[in-house]
Structure formats: C-alpha cells, structure tokens
Amino acid sequence: MAIKSMFDLTNTLEIPPFSLNKNAKLELYSEAVQTLTRFHFENCQPYQKILNKIGFVLDKSHRLEEYPFLPVRLFKENELVSVDRSKIVKTMTSSGTTGQSVSRIFLDRATASNQTKALAKIASSFIGTKRLPLLIIDNKSVVKNRNSYSARAAGILGFSMFGRDVTYALDEEMRLDFDAVESFCEKHRNEDILLFGFTYIVWKYLFKPLRESGETLALENATLLHGGGWKKLFEEAVDNREFNKSLKNVCGIQKVHNYYGMVEQTGSIFMECELGFLHCSIFSNIITRRADFTECAFGETGIVELLSLLPQSYPGHIILTEDEGEVIGEDDCPCGRLGKYFKIYGRIKNAEIRGCSDIYT
C-alpha cells in the first residue's frame, strides 16, 4: 500500500470551531480535500477504481463541488480502507433493521483520536468545558464491546467525555429506572447537569413513561443533547418544537440541543444553535444537490452531501447521504457562528429504509 502524507489536522484542531468565514474556510478546504482525495486514491483500491471509472483527474484544479462523492450505501456493500489492516483499532457500524446490511467504518488510532478531539471542540463550544454530572438516556450494555462500536455506542462514549458521575437512566430491559434517575436528580439538584440520548430513545423511553405514569423529574437545571431517530417521531407528528415542549412539561428541561451526524463521518457533527439551525464547524461542510446532482442554491431543498476533514483511514471525506436538506445561509446566522447553517427535512423519497442509530429493536 503506497502510503503518502495525510492532511495534517494539528493546526485546525487549535482553531475555534465556528470562527472561519467563507473565504478562510475555502482556503482550508481547497488544500485539505485535494490532499485527502489523493491519499485515499493512492491507498484504497476500490476508491481508485471509482475515480478512474468516472474519469476524475487528480492533477487538475477542482472546485469543492466538483470532487466526487461516495453514496453512503457503498459503505454497506464494500469494506473501504485506506491504511494497512494491522493499523485498524476500531470498527464502527451503523444500525439497521433485521436483515439489512450495515455500514462498516474502519478507524486507525489517528482517525479515532481526531474524531474525539473534533467532537470535544464542537460540543464544548455549546455546553462549555466543565465536566457536568451526566445522565445517559440508555442502558449501559450498549457500550460493552470496546473494539466494535455501533453508532449508538459511539455516541454514548463520545459524549461521556463531557460528564462525571455518569448514570444510565434505563435498565437492561430498556425500562426507565425511576429510582436511579430520581437519586441522580436529588444528588445534583443544585448543579448544572447534562443529559444525552438518541432522540427516539429519549422520546419513547423517557418522555412516554413519564407521561403515562404522571411522574415528573426535576431537571430544570439540565441541558439535553440528542440526535437521530426523527423519522419515527415525524410519523407520530412530533417535530422539534413539540419534542422540546413535551420534555419541558415532564422534566422542566429548558436547554435542548439537537445534533445531526453520520457514522460515516463520526466526530464532525452538526449542532443545532439557539435559533434551531444546524451548523457546519471548521471540520465539516455541506452541499445540497438536485436530482441530477447539480448544486442547489441557498434556500433550495436537495439531497445532502457532507464533507469532513476527519476520515483518514477510510475514504469517507465526501459522502452523499439519503437525507433531504436546505442550506439557509453562510456566515450570517443571528446566533453569531460562522459557516454554513441548514435544516434537515428527513429521508429522500424511495431511499433505502434504514434503522437509525438510536432505534432500539
């Protein structure tokens, strides 16, 4: 395998995650995407075959929108690796319903480390750097295997770095452990605390049991981070506003941050700002495309393409998702964060039905 230099993230990891304007970010990405594309071309044979097949010429100058993307489904059908197999320390898998194939993402130590560092930079810019008492809306058995992670387990472990006195709210049967949760709330009733869970699990296994039992929890001082599973909530006519309102009614939660992310680009998540928009950090970017794959204008709904600087052990730096979204603007969100900001509207029609990383089956 012809290993060549990867893009060096050292300096980028020192930059505040929402501090680069359009021109500065374009300069960063012009070098990074070219370097990553060449690296994966030279070290991942299937990726090389794809680029050769479509006639992509590496040595020409390209706009970011012209670089080839990989549909996320390719990661379910192929094992795509750009480093020697002996360097792989962790395998990530997406979740799927029974009988479905899942994505398998292979991480070397450097890629896994950069994912953790980027996640820390992004999330801490929203919730601060202080480690807070953490209540995880899930059960601890999800994270038992430390060599092969589901997207659900990776999310739990990734966000656990922001917490202390980590407590799981659900038992092994996915039932709400009222005693454990109430004890946690009482112990930390005068402190700021952090809750983390996948959207559908929070809804089904925290909110619904509380609503049905008439119980309430004292979580007025909590910040909730959650993501994934919106398809099932939309089927129940629950949107982001209804979700937040419902949790406030049974828990008193005031601060809620939704996030969007893919197992194929773990670490470079998109956090929701106070105004309800998802934001690209310096580690990620978004392009939306029409059905013919031409680039959408701002304010136009299209298929979501995601770019990330983090994937180095596998060619996942430019992926085409199966989601629809709309880029609202760039550098001018009233929240003050620079970069593109956008909305996700769910799965594209006729896309493969998939299990979300947060769905318990």
Q: Of 248, 180, 171, whose CA–CA distance to 205 is shortest?
A: 171
Determine the Cα–Cα distance for residues 136 and 139; give it in Å rounded to an integer: 8
Residue 9 pLDDT level (bands cut at 50, 70, 90): very high
Please give the residue that has the higher pLDDT: either 196 or 218: 196
What whole-number percentage of the chain has pLDDT above 90? Answer: 74
Domains in the chain, ordered, with CATH? 18-87+273-347 (2.30.38.10), 116-260 (3.40.50)
Determine the Cα–Cα distance for residues 24 and 36; give it in Å rounded to an integer: 18
Q: Of 48, 50, 67, 8, whose CA–CA distance to 285 is shortest?
A: 67
What whole-number percentage of the chain has pLDDT above 70? Answer: 92
Determine the Cα–Cα distance for residues 132 and 127; give it in Å rounded to an integer: 10
Report the largest interatomic distance among the alpha carbons of the chain, rounded to a whole angstrom: 64
Phi-psi category of residue 237: left, alpha or beta, with phi > 0 → left and psi -120 to 50 → alpha: left
Q: Which pair of structure tokens corresponds to residue 210? A: 């509380």
Residue 361 has what pLDDT?
A: 32
Determine the Cα–Cα distance for residues 259 and 279; give it in Å rounded to an integer: 9
Residue 100 has what pLDDT?
A: 65
Give the global pTM: 0.90
Determine the Cα–Cα distance for residues 105 and 103; give it in Å rounded to an integer: 6
Phi-psi category of residue 112: left, alpha or beta, with phi > 0 → left and psi -120 to 50 → alpha: alpha
Radius of gyration of the chain (CA): 20
- SS3 of 15-82: the string is CCCCCCCHHHHHHHHHHHHHHHHHHHHHHCHHHHHHHHHHCCCCCCCCCHHHCCCEECCHHHHCCCCC
**Averaged pLDDT for residues 214-231:** 87
Residue 354 has what pLDDT?
A: 42
Distance of CA 97 to the CA centre of its chain: 20
CA count, 13 A, side-chain hemisphere, 319: 27
The separation between the first and the last C-alpha atoms of the chain, rounded to the nearest angstrom, is: 40
3-state secondary structure of 327: strand
- Contact call for residues 309 and 283 (beta carbons, < 8 A): yes
**Averaged pLDDT for residues 153-164:** 89
- Contact call for residues 184 and 176 (beta carbons, < 8 A): no
- Contact call for residues 359 and 95 (beta carbons, < 8 A): yes
Determine the Cα–Cα distance for residues 349 and 360; give it in Å rounded to an integer: 24
| pLDDT higher than 90, residue 192 | yes
Burial class (CB in 10 A: 0-12, 13-18, 19+), 232: middle
Q: What is the pLDDT of residues 88-143, one digit of tens each?
A: 999 988 865 445 678 899 999 999 999 999 999 999 999 999 999 999 999 998 88
Q: Which pair of structure tokens corresponds to residue 358? A: 């947060």
The overall average pLDDT reported for the chain is 89
Q: Which pair of structure tokens corresponds to residue 55? A: 């006639």
Residue 313 has what pLDDT?
A: 97
